[in-house]
Structure 1
């Protein structure tokens, strides 16, 4: 049974009022700098990392010495405001098929939309690149593209899409925007998607009522999809998407209008409650469970970048309950856009800036 906002309001009140822990000491090392608003990264089997820049470039970087090369064959992007070249993921069978998946804001119709595509990495070129899916309708907007990609273990691809700054789209199941989409790796629609038999709905939609989800990851033990999404002024959320479920935006939110008044009630029957939320907003982006072996004290913890409050959040979990939250790197002033566990067991973050960085992170001595 879906978790409703009304049934979980009381227990979450304790979470949101739980004080953050004091910042912990960590060691950082800049792997590469001079990046133009880097947005996402994916590690290749040889240890190199592919990094997207919002301006439209894809780079291959050697974490050992910072050497980089531009990857050719990427799609043209509409790089304005929050748009551009966004997420990147390798196909689960990358070692055999060399397929790299990208999301980007691309021009279409009278505006633009979140696009999904893939190409085959050969040397420093994406060959045979093809657009697989476009989240329609196209909208005349330069914000809230969502855009994270996650492969599950059952042959599906999840893609998050923001509501493009037009909040009522989130409640319209005839509109891809403001949703988590569930696709096949070729961009097709799974036959068991929740709305596949409804004439009034887009068959790709898995869950809806989302604002702007910019973090997504599979839980390493349960295989469940976890996402987070930006609230307005307060009300950032961590959610566990469920098939056909309504996560409430904008009918219900813990956030307020930027100019002050309430948008909706904190709880609303028939919508799904977040497992955790932030007031004030941290502006979350990027999300990963630490799965490395180098730092046992971090294993299983959830790490999330914060753009507005400029830190790396470490969330220690008991199942789906946050039992402790610590702010790391809060003395750096970095807008952290992405976070991933590297194949070497270190944690890596991207800083969102005109002179952005790839940074290796480890616990302090």
Structure 2
């Protein structure tokens, strides 16, 4: 079945001849927002990494210790940090890295290599509607993520509908309705306390009748260790399959980038309950712990892609995850200089 990138930057046939300068400017602007969004983590990381660029100093134990500390503080994780530092130490021992600038470039390549397996676009199939569930604990930004994605899809000409399945928190329904009214996107909702599965069923039935391209379903925030609530989430899945046995086509776990290593347990437990297809990591602009994405990459037994990262409040601050851009923004623009010089 054919699939299309859900937030593809590829030009449509009628815009293929668009000016290259405009495309470059757009890309630069998007990268700038990503870089600004990762500022807190980059500042924290700079305690051990930024100093590597103060001249081309000899690599000694102090340099390596400072770098290791910086990686741990930004929540890269013990296992990933240990692996990275062991690799760098071997390169130093083999005299492949002669100074701190070369070390900085090598660090960038190692970080990028660990994140590249996470890079995968969320795609739409030809199935209408393409049903996407958004799950996660309270306060991670599910509703906001849905609203931003709905607007971006609408800008691409997609017919989008929303389902206010978080019936336990009145503000969640109202928030989604505000997004819908603002962008003229239909929102299927019921009274607070209604059965979430019933909302999802009605929404899918309505989306099918209207020929919608995409149905984005909000779900109640859940503590991942509460079996009863997780069972209810499974029920929502079972109910929509009565109308479309292939639905939901995607189940996206939304994670707050500031929770650090606790994100790993959320990934594991939600995946056990509902078979996740991917992740969205939000609020990276408000935390110095964006390094947790490297710990997520280390969960090789789960192997889930990161579809989106949220680095601000604006519509365009919900970004497709691109490993190169993420590492470049994290290590600052001098990272490119380091790569070019060490590859020369």
Check whether TM > 0.5.
no
**RCO comparison, higher one (Cα < 8 Å, 6+):** 2
Rg (Cα) greater in structure: 2
- Structure number having the greater strand percentage: 1
- Structure number having the greater helix percentage: 2
Report the TM-score, using the length of structure 2 for normalisation: 0.29
Report the TM-score, using the length of structure 1 for normalisation: 0.28
